[in-house]
Structure formats: C-alpha cells, structure tokens
Amino acid sequence: MGTGYVGLVSGACFAQMGNTVTCVDIDDNKIARLQEGIVPIYEPGLETMVRQNHENGTLNFTTDTKEAIKNATIVFIAVGTPMGEDGSADLQYVLAVAKSIGQHMHDYMVVVDKSTVPVGTADKVKAVIQAELDARGVDIEFDVVSNPEFLKEGAAIKDFMKPDRVVVGADSEKAMNVMRELYVPFMKNHDRFIGMDIKSAEMTKYAANAMLATKISFMNEISNICERVGADINNVRNGIGSDSRIGYSFIYPGCGYGGSCFPKDVQALAKTAKDLEYTPRILDAVEAVNYDQKKVIPNKVIKRFGEDLSGQTFAIWGLAFKPETDDMREASSITIINELTSRGANVVAYDPKARHEAESFYLKDNLHVNYVNSKYDALNDADALILVTEWQEFRSPDFDEISKRLKNSILFDGRNQFDKARMKALGFEYVQIGVK
C-alpha cells in the first residue's frame, strides 16, 4: 500500500524472489505509468527490476485496494509519514490505509508497518482495523507487526536484497513465523533476522537514523572548531576513523544532511520525547547544528565576495541531497542557492538526475536559477564553482577546463573532495569545510 520510494523498492524486491506482489496507490497517473514500465523515482537497478517482474506477472499495479488485498497474506503499509508543523510524524495516510484494510479483509492477514512511524503506531493501526471489522460485524483474525526499512537511497536494491539486518516486531508467534518465512530467501548465507517486541522495532528505526545524524552533526561541529583553531578536519577524520570503535562511516564533514529520513526522524523522535516530558538535548543539538551547517558555504561565499552578490554568478555542481538519487528533500543545495540568490546572485546548476525535481518543485519559484545538461556548461563565466553533492563524475574533473571556463579559479567545496595542496598547485583558490 503506497508506491513511493519504500513501497516500490520493497514490492520489486519481494517479486524478484518469486512472490506475487501487488502495489497499490491512489494516484491514477502514477499507476498508469508504472504499468507502462515508467518508474517515477531514480534508484539504480529499480527500473529494470520493476519492468522484468511486471512482464513476468509477479509484480502488478492497481488503484483498487479491495481487489489487491483479496488474496493477500501480507499487507505492507508503505505510505508517507510527512512531518507536521510541530515536528511530529503525520499518520493520516497510515491510518487511512489501515481503515481500508479493515473494510476489505476477509481472511487472516499480517499487516506490516513498513513506513517510519512513531512508537505506538502499531497499536493505533490495530485499533482502526478492529473498529472497521466491528462495524462490519465480522470476526477476522489479524496481526499488526513492525518491519522498519533501512534502505540507503542510491543503494536500496542492494540493501534490500542483501540486508545487514531484518528487524521485525510482533506480539504473536504466528505473525513472526510468517515474516521469517518471507525473508528467508534474503538471508541464505547468514541469519540476519532480528525478532523483538513491536515498540522496540518501531524505536529501532528512529534510533538508527538519529545515531547516524548525530555522527554527521558531531563531525560538522568538530570541523567548525577546526577552522577556528587552525586544524585540518580531513587529518582529524583520518586520525579518529582509524579507531575501530569509531570507524570511518558518517564522519565526513560537509554542508549538512538532508533527505527524507534524517531530518524528519530526528525531529519526530525529539517531539515524541518532549510529549513525554523528556528534553532530548542531544537530538535538539543535532538538528540545530545541521540547520546552521547548511549555511556554512553561503557564509564562506559572502566572506569572499561580500554581502551584496548582485552581478555575481555561481556554478552549482549537485542538487540532490546525496549521489545516486534524484531526491531533493531537505537538500543542502536548496538552502545554499536560496541564500545566494536572495543577495542578488545568479546560479547556474547541474545535477545528473535531480534537475527535474529542482525545476518542477523545490526551486521552481526561484527565477535566478538556470539549469544546464553538462557540468562544464555550468561554469561559463561564473565567478566561482560550488560543489554540493559528491557525484562520482565530480571526483576527477578536468581542472584545466574548469579554470578556462570560470571567470575566476575559485572553488568552494562543500564535501571536501579534493586535496588542498594539489588545488593550490593548480592555481585554484580552494575553500573547504573545516580547514582554515
């Protein structure tokens, strides 16, 4: 139920293992396009998998909920849980699906919360389904379980097909066995199935994302201190990453995290804590540091060019919040571009996949942004280049070509991709994060 990022990836991967899957959505246009093999999101390997399984008859698409669940053993709720104005997760779509399930189910069913939802949501889903069954005057057994997703955008297919772990929270052995059987094909080499109670499973998802976001904000805070004391954050990262207790994952300094998970989940977990009269000081700090970090690059530009950027043009490499996706939700590029254009600057942007998202939604009202189809075309007569997203095609560019096209050989690197000494030798004015 829901053919967004999580629903479509999950459905395609379950079908790939031989299950018969029906993906349901209320968006007629999206379903029609999926039936034609047109995937609405960019995720490496997803389009091929969707087309193959749809052609094989194992993956189907419909807007008819009643027909979809008629022969279903398991129903996954994978609709969005957007962030409310107060930071909480909005459960209206999850509970609407639960109501629909209660209206149409006619045999034992395992209902799975796949969406990222606050602790206690399974109880609400169960209550809504039961209320609908009571209204129908029928007694049908069902179980609600929690099965949070841990997919990395850009590597979701790999993560699903070869998971680090499969977390399932259930309060009945019957439901747990159904879920274990479903995931057996994904764990042939090692049993990574972790069964637990429902509330712990719901909490595990939030705790995982909050921990990763904390590592990012911590490292960004250290990078800001490094600049002020004259240390090099790149050396510091190597020094601490070699400690096996810390490791190298998620300790790269940058211009802030974004995406559909970390910002929303950190705020939702903090809201849950505050609702229970606990002050989540670390979570609040993580969010505050990330908010400020997105302005680090604009502040460096302002320091170099002045507060009034009228008449200045900046080339932007990267719009998506991370490489290998077209997702721009909470992307640092949005803040960076809006901060620059609000001061009179013009921006020429390039991204391998996210241009349509920027043009049609996230930056559609910003008339000071132009888009090009080549990273080098973005540079023509620009006053500086700003690297925002670490796409592979940006890792080893032609620096001579960059210098030739730019008005000035100035590069603001929001992801610390290049060696400072080399850039200086090439004649660049090179500005990094966490390096004085």
Q: Which residues are catalytic?
A: 261
Instruction: Report how far residue 350's alpha carbon sits from residue 274's, in angstroms, rounded to the nearest whole number.
Output: 41
Helix axes 198-229, 281-293, angle to 10 degrees: 50
Please, is 18 exposed, middle or buried when counting C-beta atoms within 10 Å of its C-beta (0-12, 13-18, 19+)? exposed
Q: What is the SS3 assignment for 53?
A: helix
The long-range contacts involving 418-425, CB below 8 angstroms and separated by at least 24 positions, are 420/232, 423/399
Report residue 197 as tokens. 């109670």
- Burial pattern 349-385, b for ≥16 Cβ within 10 A else e, equals bbbbbbbebbbeebbeeeebbebbeebeebbeebbbb
> Helix, strand, coil proportions of the chain in percent (round to 5)?
45, 15, 40
Instruction: Spell out the residues 6+ positions from residue 117 whose beta carbon is closer than 8 angstroms to its own.
Output: 81, 89, 91, 94, 146, 202
